[in-house]
Each structure stands twice: as C-alpha cells, then as structure tokens.
Chains A and B, each alone.
Chain A
Amino acid sequence: MLRNIDAGLGATSQNPVVEPFTRSEPTSLLLRELVGHLRQNRTQLREDWVSRITEAQLLTAMTKEEIFAEATSVYDSYVEVLQTGTFEALQTYARNLSERIIPRGVETNEVVGIVLLLRDVLARSLFAKYQTDFEKLNRILDAYEPAANRIANTVAVGFVQERERVIRQQQEAIRELSTPVLQVRERLLILPIIGVIDPQRARQLTEQLLRGIRTNRAKVVVIDITGVAAMDATVANHLVQTVEASRLLGASSIVTGLSPEIAQTLVNIGVDLGKMNTVGDLQGGIEQAERLLGYKVVQLAEAN
C-alpha cells in the first residue's frame, strides 16, 4: 500500500499549514495524479475488483477468464476517460461490450453493478492513499466523483439502449414468423390475417405477401380478414395498397371475411367495393381462386 509522504512543508497533524496554492490546485492536475495512481496500481485494483464481482455473484453467465478479459478492458477504458476527459471511446466500447454480453444473458443490474463496484474499489484505494491528507482527499474526490458517475451512467445507458435495440429486433422477427403466407396450390397464396393490426405490422404483411408472390409465382392471392375485428382508416388503406401492389406483380386478389364494419370503413376511405373482389368466407374465396386459375374442383365419390 502506497503512502503519500508530504515533503518539505513542515505540516504535521497537530499543526496543519494550509498552503493557498494547493487549495486552488486545478482539477486537471488532480485527475492526472489520480490517473497515475490508477495505472500504477492497475494489477492490484483490477484483482480487487474482479474478486468483488465474483463475491457479489455478478456476471455468472461468463467464465472467469472472460470476466478478467472484460474487466481489463473496462478498467483501461475507465482510466482513459479520466485521462482524456472524452467519452466517445467509452461509448463505443460500452456498445461493443453490450453487443457481446447481451446474447450471453447478462442483465442490466449486473452491468450497473460491476461499474459501481469499480467506482467503489477505486474510491477506497483513494481513501487509503490520501488518508493522511484529508484536504487532498477531498479535492481528489471532488475531481473523481463527477467523472466516475458519468462513466457509470454512460456504460449503463449504452447497455440499456443496446438491449432495447435487440428486443425490438426480436419482436420484429417474431412478427415475421407469425404472419405466414401460405401456398395452398400452385399459383395460389393465402394470407390469413388475425387479430389487431397496427400500421407497422400491416406494412410487414404487405412486404411478405409481395415477396411470396414473387417466390411462388402466384397469380391469385386470397387475403382473409375473418379474424380481424376492426380496422382503422390507415390499416384499411394498407389493405387497398396490398391489393394494388399485388396486381403490379401480376397477381389478382380476393378479399374474404369482410365484416360489415370493415366494409363500411373501406367505403368511408373511398374504396369502390364493387371493384374489389370480395367473397364472404375463406372457403368460398379459395374456390373462386381455383376457378380463376382454371382448376376444376371434382368431388371424389366415396367408396363404400
């Protein structure tokens, strides 16, 4: 443990001499001294920190080696921020770190926890180093604390933002999976729409249908909205756009399961229902599609 030896001022605890120029020591000098201390004691402080992380049972999803590797990077980034006063490198690092550890199942409280632990480990080492010079300790802490808190904030915010981005991506992927475009026969696609559709989902449905038309070379599409309770004007517009866009790809559409309410919504937004090909129910729609495609539906005689 290093001890700071006050040299040449003749100050003792019984007779403190306060030097005016040391009181107005600029923050940058203090931080430089602090950074020096952190670099000198890097190995020890990092060890302390890692053992506290393990004690607190944080980052259990990672191996000891991984924790050590990340701890090294975080420590060095931490010291670099204190030295340079700029946060860009830290923000970038926080994002990279988050990208790595989020798939491993690391939680927000763990990330916040380890950064706070580091802050504490470093603060305690400062206490130990400057315990004989209360004045100096205060000044160093005054310089250290705002920076340390901002670092903790930067890392936490970076982590949370990355998490939110991942969650949004996953939700998008789930939506993709849950709206299948079904190929029932050659050249015939069915798009069953169920539940509440918001504009974003409506847009996704349209894109999936159009891609499906191209992949399956569909000539007829049956869009079944039996399972849709209500539609506002925006989503109704999307339905119309879907029919129009499908036509641009050479596919004609049949809309089935149109409730009186939705029919009214369509009329309200100016759709000429007479021009839209609608059939009461899905079965009827499929039969009409088959007729359009030239299929003849033959009843199989039951063998006795």
Chain B
Amino acid sequence: MEVPILKQGSFLIATVQAALSDADLLQFRSALIQYVVRSRSQGVILDVTDLDVLDSFASRTIREIAQMIRLRGAETVIVGIQPEVAFAMVQLGLTMEGVATALDLDEGLEYLNQRSKTAAS
C-alpha cells in the first residue's frame, strides 16, 4: 500500500488514511520511519483528519511513531483530530500524552517551525 508522504521543506507530511487495518498501520509506521531516515527530515506532521475512529491501538501506534521519530532526531506533531474523535478518545482515556498536537496542517507547520527555531538557537 502506498503511503502518502509529502516533503515540505525539511519537514514531512504523512497522511493516515481511514479504514486502515492494524497490519496496514504497522506497515505505514515502518514506511514512514524509513522516509524520515532517508530524507533526514527535522519534523513530521502526521495528519489524521481522515480517521473517523482513533482507538487504543491507533493511539498507541501513533505514540510509538512519535517516539521512533524522536530517536531519529526529529519532531512529530499530530494534526486533524476531529472534535468527535477527540471526545471519544478522552472517554477511553487516550490522551496522547507526550505527543504534540495541533489543529491542522498550517498550525502543524507553524509548530514545527517554532521548534526548529528554538532548536537552532
């Protein structure tokens, strides 16, 4: 399965599509990490706008993605969590603690820009 990943400057934008099976999601994860390493990117925007459900597995996998990316020296920010999905997540106790979040692509890019500025200084 192709993983939609775009390069935006020194950042990557990866879009998680809806209705991914667990196996697909894990494949997505390894493909993304490889991309990060290959492109030596400084940050990744993980766009989950398409996800109509974010359950415990998805939440855990996303956190692992962020951790793995951090090990490669890059930042991750999750964008596009829908209000209904966010509400369901907190009911389940899935707070994604430790992972940065932003409203949408624009906010995500701004966040990564700020972080790289801070890192550079």
A and B co-occur in one complex: yes
**Chain A: residues with CB nearer than 8 A to chain B?**
206-207, 210-211, 213-214, 217, 219, 241, 244-251
Among all A-B residue pairs, the 5 with the closest Cβ atoms: A210-B83, A250-B102, A250-B103, A248-B86, A241-B90
B87/A207 in contact, CB under 8 A: yes
> Which secondary structure dominates chain A's binding surface?
helix
Does B81 sit within 8 A of A, measured CB to CB? yes
Inter-subunit contact B83/A249 (CB<8 Å): yes
Residues 73-115 (chain B) with a chain A CB within 8 angstroms:
78-79, 81, 83-84, 86-87, 89-91, 95-96, 101-104, 107, 111
B-side interface size class? 10 to 19
A-B contact count (CB 8 A): 51
In the complex, what residues of A have CB within 8 A of residue B111's CB?
Answer: 250
Task: Assess whether A214 is in contact with B103, with CB atoms less than 8 Å apart.
Answer: yes
Residues of B within 8 A of A207 (CB): 83-84, 87
State the B residues within 8 Å of A (CB): 78-79, 81, 83-84, 86-87, 89-91, 95-96, 101-104, 107, 111
Q: How far is the CA of A141 from the CA of B81 in the complex (A)?
A: 66
Tell me if A210 and B107 are in contact (CB < 8 A): no
| A247-B101 in contact (CB<8A) | yes
Q: Give chain A residues whose Cβ lies under 8 Å from the Cβ of B102.
A: 250
B91, B95, B103: which contacts A249 (Cβ < 8 A)?
B103
Q: Are A248 and B91 in contact (CB under 8 A)?
A: no
